[in-house]
Amino acid sequence: MNADRIYTPRRPLLLEAITAAALIAAPFVLPYFDAAPNTVNRILVWGLFGIGFDILFGYTGLLSFGQSALYGTGGFVAAYLLTVAGFPYVITALVIGMVAAAVVGYVVGLIALRRTGIYFAMITIAIAEVFFFVEFNPLSEWTGGENGLPGVPTPSLDLGSLHLRFTTGWSLYPFLAFCYFVGIVVALRIVRSPAGAIFRAIRENPLRAAAVGHNIHAYKLTAFVIAAAYAGFAGGLLGVMQAFMPPDAFMLETSGQLVMQTAIGGTGTLFGPLAGAAVWLFLQDFLQGTLGLGATWKLVLGLVFVVLVCFLRQGILGGVRNFVALFSSKAESRPSDTPEPASFAAPMPARHELGNGFTGPILQAKGLTKRYGGVVANEGIDFTVNAGDLRGIIGPNGAGKSTFFKMLTCEVPPTSGRITFEGRDITGMRVTDVCQLGLTKSYQVNQLFNRLTVRENVAIAALAELRGKFRLDLMRSLLDVKGLDAQVDHTLALVGLAARRDVPVAQLAYGEKRRLEIALALASSPSLLLLDEPLAGMSPRERVETVGLLRSIAEDRTMIIIDHDMDALFELAGRITVLQEGRVLVEGTPEEIKRNERVQEAYLGGLEDLAA
Ligand code: ADP
């Protein structure tokens, strides 16, 4: 069960078929295990609720404790329509509840997603508490306050001569199982879509996902709304299942239970919340009912939770998935001691191919200054690069090289000064938009998507160019993105990682990771590529290979390289800019730089070998 790979499995409908078979078999098999139908139904409702939460948390990495607000919203809207308002259509009411929860989710998401990490989680807790209060106080006339809304009807279907009535227990089961099945089919499509792939990239490394050109805020909001819609529909089912909409749907404890069930079952699996709910509710039935432990059952459950989290960090299904993956990819997953030499395939064309695209100064910086409090990282830098140039930047540690690159790619805004790229003023733009225009960089410290494979990493970057910064193609398969495979294969061949394409990043050798770091920048076909110390930490042999790779990439685009390996830069670059104490010390050809006295002084006079 490997729902966490971004490429559709070889048998794309296998999971759907197994799910359908299991749901059909359940009412015939489970009674032999003394499973109460009401427990099974509750598991399905929690499972459906959790599918959306898993997309939000397991896939996108956003831990929300506010799902009870959306569960309650969907539930109470549907229940109000079906009871107080006398609306007769149960399924339509459930859908209206779902839409209401999605709309509320959109607004809540806009607020909560202004922050990340623990602050995001804290805002969602506050929001859950606000909804709970509102349900009990100002809105109690509509929600029934602490009494909830009794008398929620169950659905029935009139299909010509066939009248289906779903009441309680096993009679309601087919309806809930069908809803769960539709929920899973939709979710599997979402996580196999290009947007689903970007959700995972955000979970792994939001900074890089934005830097390769994705509007991560819009994707996070999308995941939040999807989770809200699932929560809203499940909330409505809760009322239908109990013939009563309980006020405790809104309680923070509901959110907590959902988080714990998902963690127990396995995050990033879609089926984890169902498995977690099964463990939780069967244990509850068994410990409370059969063993008569009363409230003490929670203590046992707590122990089970601690043991599972300690020994199976990715939950039950996550553990099963890792176990299966271990065996299926044992052969490929060994890090290579002898990295495959770069193949130097013909470079992929940049967006604006040289010769028929931009000519003249592709990048100009004027008076670029960056101050961090009292620290002046860059001061009044004037810098011009012409299309087709390969420029080197050198300077001692702390000279301001990395800060300069961060300003050029709009990762940090300059304190003053202006930047022009291809004739357009990009000062103050976002890093995502600048990447979309064709200017990007590779990082000094690798910024990769660690739990994804090499091929998936490159695909994430390529998708930003092929689809733009945001697209809601949730029902489209990643395999249908035109040109994706060609672009990924080409990039991998170029950096010599084609044979390692299915290996997770965490298992790569260091030199391979450095080449993948360059591949991520290359995959979006930039017309201007900035490389921050691409040779750092490499062995002499890897350096020679990578210098060859850089030369090959530069044939087709403009590049600026920062590195401490002066021999390599003098060999590669047509011109070199030397930075010192945040300013341009000197600029010239490698020969001029080697002979320049101020440069030799800057390097403590110890580099007569500069001229060697
Ligand atoms: P280099 O890449 O040449 O080693 P940097 O651009 O990393 O230099 O740093 C230049 C100066 O700016 C250093 O003194 C560094 O301490 C300072 N600096 C860089 N980033 C920050 C930051 N985020 N906050 C405060 N000071 C910073």
Read out DSSP for 77-132? Answer: HHHHHHTTS----HHHHHHHHHHHHHHHHHHHHHHHTTS-HHHHHHHHHHHHHHHH
Closest by CA position to 240, among listed 30, 92, 34 = 92
Q: Which atom of ligand 1 is nearest to the CA of 397?
A: 4
From its phi and psi, is residue 604 left (phi > 0), alpha (psi between -120 and 50) or beta?
A: left
* Arithmetic mean of pLDDT over the chain: 89
Ligand 1 close to Cβ of residue 399 (< 6 A): yes
E strands of 140-226, at which residues? 149-150, 156-159, 162-165
Lowest mean pLDDT among 105-109, 322-326, 572-576: 322-326
Confidence (pLDDT) at 358: 66
Residue nearest to atom 20 of ligand 1 (CA): 403
pLDDT tens digits along 234-266: 999 999 999 999 988 888 999 999 999 999 999
Which of 229-233, 257-261, 564-568 is modeled with the greatest confidence? 229-233
Of residues 437 and 357, the one with the higher pLDDT is: 437
Q: Is the confidence at residue 290, as pLDDT, over 90?
A: no
Ligand 1 close to Cβ of residue 400 (< 6 A): yes
Site to substitute for ligand 1 among 207, 370, 375, most atoms within 8 A of C-beta: 375
> At 335, is the pLDDT very low, low, confident or very high (cuts 50, 70, 90)?
very low
Residue nearest to atom 21 of ligand 1 (CA): 372
Ligand 1 close to Cβ of residue 396 (< 6 A): no
Of residues 352 and 146, the one with the higher pLDDT is: 146
Distance 530 CA to ligand 1 centre (A): 18
Of residues 69 and 311, the one with the higher pLDDT is: 69
E strands of 319-454, at which residues? 361-372, 375-386, 390-394, 416-421, 424-425, 439-442
Confidence (pLDDT) at 17: 94
Q: Please report the DSSP string for 295-354 in residue order.
A: GGHHHHHHHHHHHHHHH-TTHHHHHHHHHHHHHHTTTTTSPPSSPPPP--PPPPPPSS-T
Confidence (pLDDT) at 106: 97
> At 353, is the pLDDT very low, low, confident or very high (cuts 50, 70, 90)?
very low
Residue nearest to atom 27 of ligand 1 (CA): 372
> At 611, is the pLDDT very low, low, confident or very high (cuts 50, 70, 90)?
very low
DSSP code for 152:
P
Distance 400 CA to ligand 1 centre (A): 6
Of residues 295 and 351, the one with the higher pLDDT is: 295
Distance 572 CA to ligand 1 centre (A): 26
d(CA 354, CA 358): 7
Q: Is the confidence at residue 351, as pLDDT, over 60?
A: no
> At 342, is the pLDDT very low, low, confident or very high (cuts 50, 70, 90)?
very low
Distance 127 CA to ligand 1 centre (A): 38
Distance 397 CA to ligand 1 centre (A): 9
Distance 398 CA to ligand 1 centre (A): 6
Q: What is the mean pLDDT of residues 16-22?
A: 95
Q: Which atom of ligand 1 is nearest to the CA of 444?
A: 2
> At 567, is the pLDDT very low, low, confident or very high (cuts 50, 70, 90)?
confident
Distance 595 CA to ligand 1 centre (A): 28
Site to substitute for ligand 1 among 372, 376, 407, 415, most atoms within 8 A of C-beta: 372
Confidence (pLDDT) at 4: 67
Distance 402 CA to ligand 1 centre (A): 7
d(CA 566, CA 346): 26
Lowest mean pLDDT among 93-102, 174-183, 189-198, 503-512: 503-512
Q: Is the confidence at residue 345, as pLDDT, over 60?
A: no
Ligand 1 close to Cβ of residue 403 (< 6 A): yes
State what percent of residues in the chain have pLDDT above 90. 65
Residue 283 CB burial class (10 angstroms; 0-12, 13-18, ≥19) = middle
Q: Is the confidence at residue 23, as pLDDT, over 90?
A: yes
Q: What is the mean pLDDT of residues 442-469?
A: 95
How is the chain split into domains, by residue range? 31-327, 358-438+528-550+557-612, 448-525
Distance 403 CA to ligand 1 centre (A): 6
Site to substitute for ligand 1 among 378, 403, 581, most atoms within 8 A of C-beta: 403
Q: What is the mean pLDDT of residues 30-43?
A: 91
Of residues 115 and 145, the one with the higher pLDDT is: 115
Q: Is the confidence at residue 589, as pLDDT, over 50?
A: yes
Q: Is the confidence at residue 330, as pLDDT, over 80?
A: no
Q: What is the mean pLDDT of residues 382-402?
A: 93
Q: Which atom of ligand 1 is nearest to the CA of 532?
A: 2
How many Cα atoms occupy the beta-carbon half-sphere of 590 within 13 Å? 16
Distance 370 CA to ligand 1 centre (A): 10
Q: Is the confidence at residue 346, as pLDDT, over 70?
A: no
Ligand 1 close to Cβ of residue 370 (< 6 A): no
Residue nearest to atom 26 of ligand 1 (CA): 372
> At 539, is the pLDDT very low, low, confident or very high (cuts 50, 70, 90)?
confident
Distance 376 CA to ligand 1 centre (A): 8
Q: What is the mean pLDDT of residues 390-412?
A: 93
Ligand 1 close to Cβ of residue 401 (< 6 A): yes
Q: What is the mean pLDDT of residues 409-426?
A: 95
Confidence (pLDDT) at 142: 82
Closest by CA position to 388, among listed 519, 516, 554, 512 = 554
Of residues 301 and 52, the one with the higher pLDDT is: 52
Q: Is the confidence at residue 92, as pLDDT, over 70?
A: yes
Distance 603 CA to ligand 1 centre (A): 19
- CATH class belonging to 358-438+528-550+557-612: alpha beta
Radius of gyration (Cα) for the chain, nearest Å?
A: 29
Q: What is the mean pLDDT of residues 159-163?
A: 81
pLDDT tens digits along 499-520: 999 999 999 999 899 999 999 9
Hey, how many other C-beta atoms are within 10 angstroms of the C-beta on 329? 15
